[in-house]
Structure 1
């Protein structure tokens, strides 16, 4: 396993992040525990969850599954860099969501109880809260930090401007601020390259990529369909994506076959090669999927392959040859 620092912090995390959103709804508790054990066996120490995962609107199921896994001992908690999230509604009453001080403090206590731990390593804002001032948010986070209940803070689904606002507000409090931003990022969805990724690099914030294979579309969906195998990209909203971009996806899979690398591994390896990316989130439902994802760490894409991928999936908003954020300038 390869490790890196999370943003400008001193925290060491694996280049692959174990996503747990399937734990409960798609993967049984027994299988979820086996997946987490396998992740540790392969050196994955960075686990990502959220207080709403498992069931809506109350959530909490996935955190409880992780908590019972920690309870089994064997150094499971000590070996894990644990990340969870706050913001989305966990009930129907007015203060059951958002980033008010009241909700942050209550949600943190609930997550700690479900996770059966005394601290959260990385507490992430699941979304920007446009109704709560940064002074209130950072004050609540400062208290959690002083109490030893949270060590680091991150954001998710923020725009570049939101990151700037958050960091400048933290600076006035002489607070470390954000160390990570979790955003959708893959070959087919590169919008964060315009503002989010440049802002994160400038502020020393590590980027965690969710949906690295665009809901399975970049995982060899066409080949699996031809082989008669079940493919995640063949259901839900992915069906429309495949229909709209079939020619490009076919060319992508042809390129992967030419270089002899599984499409899913190419998609992950491309993200691992991007400057500022801490690592992609993998969401395995089985031990076999954990083992497959780990093999992506051995893939090194040469300059020619990276250029071909850029031709198939062009960066957004380019102004001539200028990279973002200068793509906006003239």
Structure 2
């Protein structure tokens, strides 16, 4: 319990019990088998051994439900479940056992209503806790199921509890030695990283010396090497080699994590790095060199392969930005393409014209939003979409590589969206229009015919453009990564693309 190298401490030893109970109760209160907290705050005492000897957490759920939980391996805490409401509370002493603690008699549920007598419900169950688990397992096996039926814990329920435990550990700063880069030289299975994957195909882009994968991986949400490396390994082993980073992502940790992984796995020369800098409000020419130097230090490399200015500043003459990026290319710190992310068509044209007239390397790539659904309002301040008809014609005429962020519409092509679903403010504000819903309807129709999901069609649409189009995907789990890869065997024709866009007559072979 006190060994850091064996993942000791209270959170992973007994923390799962209060977490599971809190998720169960929050789910029951909202009519679900379980609920996921949207916020996890934590505090803990880390002893000399480097593990949490006692810890507490606050879990916030939708609907204003808040759970306060604690666990320890060094303190004598009471094991009482308390549920508070506007009209009273419920207490369950020794809730570990259905029949109560064997040493103190039958279990009980106490209902304490405001201004009323305490009601005690006795549970005269004599069986031991584990006998219920044995019975549930036997029933599942006999029924041919691989997981428990509610109120037993499903796989999704168990994984949800584990995610909360990880967030709790992160909140208190608990990292085990085995999770650190120096100890994670191999994949989660214990074997070296494979480098011959072909599930994700590759293509050649102008000015890049090595082929790049059809999908680029963005991973700004990971906060530890142990979790991030699992996804990076899986993506690379599937054939992916294009990694999207940004100076501001995770306060710099995304670049640090990728740099650790590239060095740890020894695959820098097989990989293509996209870096971004000069995000507003620090969007000035002199910032580019300073931030790129910091990015290279975090990435543990002497160059990036593709560089984007993360925003534009129209108050600065575009030539000054071109000069700054050209200087980095001449110095060898950018060894491929550079360009703008969230830049307008007019500024890109102006930048290209300036470069040609002044003997500079011209911007050769763009990274705006692009998806089957057209962005109606910026998701964040300063965002630009290339999903308009004018942009598509511009990109096709110039054959400029486009690296599309939010390429799957940020949930618009899932069940989170719908003409009758208005609970998600961002979806409604950014994507809801009849034209987009008509495109969504056609994606659903085609998905049913192909045995896919609409989100696969949306990703295939971005890949099928008549210009070099590279979707940036941001899976948070292995399941999400594997699901995205299912889009790669969909080959849309130009007629399919036109039909998805505007409902024109479609012809499939």
- Compute the TM-score of the two structures, normalised by the length of structure 1: 0.78
- Corresponding position of 1:49: 245
- Corresponding position of 2:413: 218
Once residues 134 and 311 of structure 1 are traced to their aligned partners in structure 2, the CA distance between those partners, rounded to angstroms, is 35
Q: CA deviation at 1:4?
A: 1.9
- Deviations along 1:232-260, one digit per CA (max 9) or x if unpaired, are x9755125567766964456424422332
The yes-or-no answer on 1:161 pairing with 2:350 is no
- Corresponding position of 1:197: 392
SS at match of 2:308: strand
Contact kept? 2:203, 2:213, Cα under 8 Å: yes
Q: CA deviation at 1:11?
A: 4.6
Flag the 1:241–1:97 CA change in 2: closer, same or farther, 3 A: closer
Q: CA deviation at 1:181?
A: 0.3
- Corresponding position of 1:69: 261
- Deviations along 1:152-209, one digit per CA (max 9) or x if unpaired, are 3121111111111111111123233222101111111176243333333444420111
The yes-or-no answer on 1:285 pairing with 2:476 is yes
Q: CA deviation at 1:303?
A: 5.9
The yes-or-no answer on 1:238 pairing with 2:427 is yes
Once residues 408 and 304 of structure 2 are traced to their aligned partners in structure 1, the CA distance between those partners, rounded to angstroms, is 28
SS at match of 1:215: helix
- Corresponding position of 1:328: none
Alignment map for 1:31-46 (pairs within 5 Å) = 31-46=227-242
Alignment map for 1:121-270 (pairs within 5 Å) = 121-151=305-335, 152-189=337-374, 192=386, 193-221=388-416, 235=424, 237-238=426-427, 248=438, 249=440, 252-270=443-461
- Deviations along 1:27-53, one digit per CA (max 9) or x if unpaired, are x43221111111110111111111011
Flag the 1:173–1:244 CA change in 2: closer, same or farther, 3 A: closer
Once residues 204 and 244 of structure 1 are traced to their aligned partners in structure 2, the CA distance between those partners, rounded to angstroms, is 29
Once residues 390 and 499 of structure 2 are traced to their aligned partners in structure 1, the CA distance between those partners, rounded to angstroms, is 24
Flag the 1:115–1:292 CA change in 2: closer, same or farther, 3 A: same
5+ residue gaps, structure 2, are: 1-199, 376-384, 505-509
5+ residue gaps, structure 1, are: 90-95, 227-232, 314-330
- Deviations along 1:201-230, one digit per CA (max 9) or x if unpaired, are 44442011111111121145469x99xxxx
Contact kept? 2:407, 2:471, Cα under 8 Å: yes
Once residues 294 and 363 of structure 2 are traced to their aligned partners in structure 1, the CA distance between those partners, rounded to angstroms, is 22
1:276 pairs with one of 464, 467, 471: 467
SS at match of 2:338: strand
Flag the 1:126–1:310 CA change in 2: closer, same or farther, 3 A: same
- Corresponding position of 1:85: 276
- Compute the TM-score of the two structures, normalised by the length of structure 2: 0.52
- Corresponding position of 1:230: none
Once residues 203 and 242 of structure 1 are traced to their aligned partners in structure 2, the CA distance between those partners, rounded to angstroms, is 28
Contact kept? 2:442, 2:500, Cα under 8 Å: no
Higher relative contact order (CA 8 A, sep 6+): 1
Contact kept? 1:83, 1:121, Cα under 8 Å: yes
Once residues 222 and 155 of structure 1 are traced to their aligned partners in structure 2, the CA distance between those partners, rounded to angstroms, is 30
Instruction: From the CA coordinates, give the structure whose radius of gyration is larger.
Output: 2
Once residues 331 and 432 of structure 2 are traced to their aligned partners in structure 1, the CA distance between those partners, rounded to angstroms, is 51
Q: CA deviation at 1:137?
A: 2.1
SS at match of 1:187: coil
Once residues 169 and 60 of structure 1 are traced to their aligned partners in structure 2, the CA distance between those partners, rounded to angstroms, is 32
Flag the 1:52–1:234 CA change in 2: closer, same or farther, 3 A: farther
Q: CA RMSD in A?
A: 2.9
- Corresponding position of 1:319: none
Flag the 1:243–1:153 CA change in 2: closer, same or farther, 3 A: closer
Once residues 9 and 206 of structure 1 are traced to their aligned partners in structure 2, the CA distance between those partners, rounded to angstroms, is 11
